[in-house]
Structure formats: structure tokens, C-alpha cells
Amino acid sequence: MKPPPFDYSRPTSLPEALALLGPDSKVIAGGQSLLPMLNFRLLRPSLLVDIGRIQSLRGLHETPTHLEIGATTSHRTLETHPLVAARFPVLAEAMRHVAHLAIRNRGTIGGSLSHADPAAEHPMLALLLDAQIQAAGPSGKRQIPARKFFQGSLTTALLEDEMVVAVRLPWLRPGTGWGFEEFALRAGDFATACAAALLRAGPDGRITEARLALMGVDETALRVPEAEALLLGSSPSAFGEAARLAQAAVRPATDIRASSGFRRHLVGVLVGRALEAAWGRAREGQA
């Protein structure tokens, strides 16, 4: 189908864009989620605010404490950027699983976080990497930790007159190993289930840092604090129990792609693999 009628504005600065936001307007970034919804007429905004040509919202900047990623940076840029490959290889790997090249060329990190699909890679990565999401509104900017940002399926902490302007990823400690394991029916499809892990190893072979995140298996992407607490200070012999805790932590839905039971099974398998991969890399980093 074709989109319903709307007005269109293409501001070239952030203040101009913010002045246009409100209950009847919608930001358009890459349009890779918004245009399908408009074509299906699931939405009828009166104004689209195209943020695609605001230069200050695009690109990567290094600071001593974090990597800052502008909201309109594309999935494809993150997939191929040398800085991401060197410092956040788990993010580069995750991007390879986001849809297909033609969609990755246009889709953006800010759009994906704001859309908040429970089976989308960016929200899970933001949780895994303890991202701070920078939102701007009429009263200025605020930082929202990823853990407070995702409130439900397609629901975030953003207010109607706010938009995401950047995402800050705190640098990982040297030697952090990563694992990313996604199951999808076809390359580029939304994940049926997915797990990602970060682990660091101490000199005695114990786990000194553990992060575990899942997606596609609950209302939002999630971290699994119970499993992380179990892993901390223990050894890879705890991976099996961590996977069982992850299985117990999720409430997967049954839909056209998979049953709830199959998704829970996948969580066990994928968490095990992601932890093994992360541990292998953590040990390599140590050597």
C-alpha cells in the first residue's frame, strides 16, 4: 500500500528539528521501520521530520571514556568502521545480522533504538555494552541508561517531544572476550532468539567480569543479572548453570517463527555457545 498523506520537513540543525517534534509529528531517520508502518497505514502522523541531513547527528567520535555514535549513523557504517571492528567487535558482528545490505545501508542506530523491536540487535547491544542513550528535547539533553530506556515492545522512555541524538558506549577493558550467537530462519531475518556475552579472565583463570544479554525471547531485550552473578568469580564449569538461569529468566512468545518452548531451548544452546566463544577470546586476549 501507499503511505497516508503527511507534511514533510527536512531541518538541517538539531534546534530546528526539536522545534517540530510533538504529538502529531514523527521523526524519520533511515525509514526502514517507519516506512513499512506508513505503507501499512499503521500510523498517520501529520508531519514527518527528516533528520537525515543534520550533519552533527552522524558519525563516530572517540573520547577518553567512551565511543560516541551519532543517532543517524547507519548499521552499515557500524558494520564496516575500523574503530568498531577494533574496539567493539561484538557490535560489528551483530550488524551483519541486521536485515540485508540494502536495509543496513539506510537503517540507523537511533532509529533502531527508538523503534525498540524486541528482536532487534541494537537494543540488545546497547544493554550488553551499558550504553548511555542521549536524548534531546525542548528543555535540553539528558542521558538515559539503556537499562531504563527499553520499557516494553516498541516502547521506550523517550517523550513525544524528544529524540535520540547519540549513543555513548563506555570502552571495554582490554582483554574482554565476546560471543554473539543468533538463530534466524534465513540470513537477514529478525532473530528467533539471540544471545551475546562479554567475559574477562583473571590470572587464576576465574571470571572477573561477566555480561549476558538476550533478545527475541521476551517483551524487550534483556540482561540476565542472575547468570552474571553466578559467573563472576567462577570458572567455565558454571556455563551450563548460567544457561539454565537464562532459560528461567525469559518469557518467550509463540509466533509464526517458533514456539515458546523452542525459543527457550534456543536460549540454552545460544547462551552456552556465546559464553564459550567469549571465554575463548578472553583467554586469547590474556595470552
Partner 1 sequence: MTTIRLTVNGEQHEAEAEPRMLLSDFLRGPLGLTGTHVGCEHGVCGACTILLDGASVRSCLCLAVQADGCTVETVEALGTPAALSPLQEAFRAHHALQCGFCTPGMLMTATDMLRNHPLTTEEEVREALSGNLCRCTGYQHIVDAVMAVARTRA
Ligand X SMILES: Cc1cc2nc3c(=O)[nH]c(=O)nc-3n(C[C@H](O)[C@H](O)[C@H](O)COP(=O)(O)OP(=O)(O)OC[C@H]3O[C@@H](n4cnc5c(N)ncnc54)[C@H](O)[C@@H]3O)c2cc1C
Site residues (vs partner 1, CB under 8 A): 1-8, 10, 28, 31-32, 35-36, 38-40, 48, 50, 52, 76, 99-103, 105-106, 186-188
Specify the amino acid at residue 18: L
Query: In the numeric block, which cell numbers belong to residue 117?
Result: 523491536
Instruction: State the CB neighbour count (10 A cutoff) for residue 65.
Output: 10
- Min. distance of Cβ 101 from ligand X in angstroms? 11
Collapsed DSSP state (helix, strand, coil) of residue 279: helix
| Cβ-based neighbours of 262, under 8 Å, separated by 6 or more | 192
Q: Which is nearer to partner 1, 31 or 236 (CB)?
A: 31
Residue 274 and residue 179 in contact, taking contact as beta carbons nearer than 8 Å:
yes
Considering only 150, 178, 190, 239, the residue that binds ligand X (CB under 6 A) is 190
Would you say 91 or 243 has its CB closer to ligand X?
A: 91
Contacts of 5 (CB under 8 A, 6+ apart): none
- Report if residue 195 touches ligand X, rule: CB under 6 A: no
Please identify, using beta-carbon distances, which residue of 28 and 270 lies nearer to partner 1: 28
Which of 94/231 has CB closer to ligand X? Answer: 94
CB nearer to ligand X: give 115 or 264.
115
b (16+ CB within 10 A) / e for 87-114: ebbbbbbbbbbbbeeebbebbbbbbbbb
In the chain, what's the furthest Cα-to-Cα distance?
64
CB closer to ligand X out of 77 and 108? 108
> Which 56-95 residues touch ligand X, going by CB under 6 A?
71
Applying CB under 6 A, does 114 fall inside the site for ligand X? yes
Shortest distance in whole angstroms from residue 82 CB to partner 1: 16
- The interface partner of residue 111, options being partner 1, ligand X, none and the CB cut-off 5 to 8 Å by kind, is ligand X
The Cβ of residue 150 has, within 10 Å, a number of other Cβ atoms equal to 24
> Cell numbers of 153, please?
515492545
Check binding of 132 to ligand X (CB under 6 A).
no
- Residue 133 and residue 62: Cα distance in Å, rounded? 16
Interaction site with ligand X (CB under 6 A): 26-34, 36, 51, 71, 98-99, 103, 107-108, 110-112, 114-115, 120-122, 158, 163-164, 190
